[in-house]
Amino acid sequence: MTAKPLLIHITGARPNFPKAAPVIAAMEHHPVRQMLVHTGQHYDARMSEVFFAQLGLPEPDVNLGVGSGSHATQTAAIMVGLEELFAREHPDLVVVYGDVNSTVAAALVAAKMGIPVAHVEAGLRSFDMTMPEEINRLLTDRLSNLLLVTSVDAIAHLGREGADAAAIHFVGNPMIDTLLQHVDSLDSESVAGQVGVDCSQPYVVGTLHRPGNVDDVTNVRELVRAVHSVADQVRFVIPLHPRGRARLEDAGFMNHHNVTVVDPLGYVEFLALVRGAAAVVTDSGGVQEETTVLGVPCLTLRPNTERPVTITHGTNQLVTRQSLPSVLAEVLATGRQATWPVPPLWDGEAGPRIADVLARHLGVVS
């Protein structure tokens, strides 16, 4: 009897897990073997382990445990570990997610070993080469055999870059599958109470960790001034990412009575907090997508976004540190909209669509 083809999913950081969960679940309906690898790029339990429990992900078959380090150190450690794994397991297809170091490391190793690669969330572009994620996106797409895209603009980007049209598949956004599966269980009032926020009063949720906001001392000072101006208007609650926390603390980030800093939250708890917010201030990519579906005004503190569909078909807008307080004031005065556009195929069925593409590539039928 011919063995079932082996598909290996590569995850490593918090944004990967809600993208991978629907794909892994949908692939259970096809005659393939699946292996889940966690590289350990995010190794704190609050940044990874809690996601496996809440999203129903199986325990990883392999955890490389690479931990933190410079981009080169981390990427190299992942590559060494994956090369050994792929040589031992001989996968028929490697599936990578998003734009983190684990993503590009897996694509490089698989491509050099002649193993086909499928990239979930292909084609997103910020056109900002100072972002490590943009470099990861470009390299991963160039090395991938299957380009699974979440939005129409991504198709155009890949076409301009010369990607084979037959490799591009518009499948929708699996992260939204995960969100929609949990949306009815998001208890904003309960989670707000747990973090010391009065849910009967407006509050704003923040997520800030990008180098452009938290690495440079001058930028950090500007950020603190902007957030304090926001906190003059409304309660500002932020689950603070380990990255940049010390710089923010040194700059007096917490020295405002209306700023509430909490530790990173689990997936369900964070989205519950977001769902009840008057607005979100973020520099995260995934949060732009989640707020778009939840109908929460999102102010993205970046000069660009690789997810422009969240602006044209959602609730997102770009702001600067200087404009943030005044734009937020306008958002608070306007309030949340009763209806808003949502991008095509962000309908909770991306996982099955992706699974069908992967199964066809592997030559199996359900």
105 three-state secondary structure: helix
Please return the burial class of 181, using the count of CB atoms within 10 Å of its CB with bins 0-12, 13-18 and 19+. Answer: middle
User: Which has the closest alpha carbon to 107: 123, 97, 121?
Assistant: 97
Q: How far is CA 84 from CA 58, 114, 129, 302, in A?
A: 22, 14, 31, 38
CA within 13 Å, CB half, 57: 29
Q: Name the nearest CA neighbour of 97 among 51, 146, 49.
A: 146
Annotated catalytic residue: which of 182, 209, 228, 256? 209
Q: CA torsion sign, 33 to 351 to 128 to 230?
A: negative
Question: Which residue, chain included where needed, has tokens 């980007």?
Answer: 157
In the residue annotation, 209 being an active-site residue is answered as: yes
Run of H or E residues at 103: helix 101-112
Residues marked as catalytic: 209
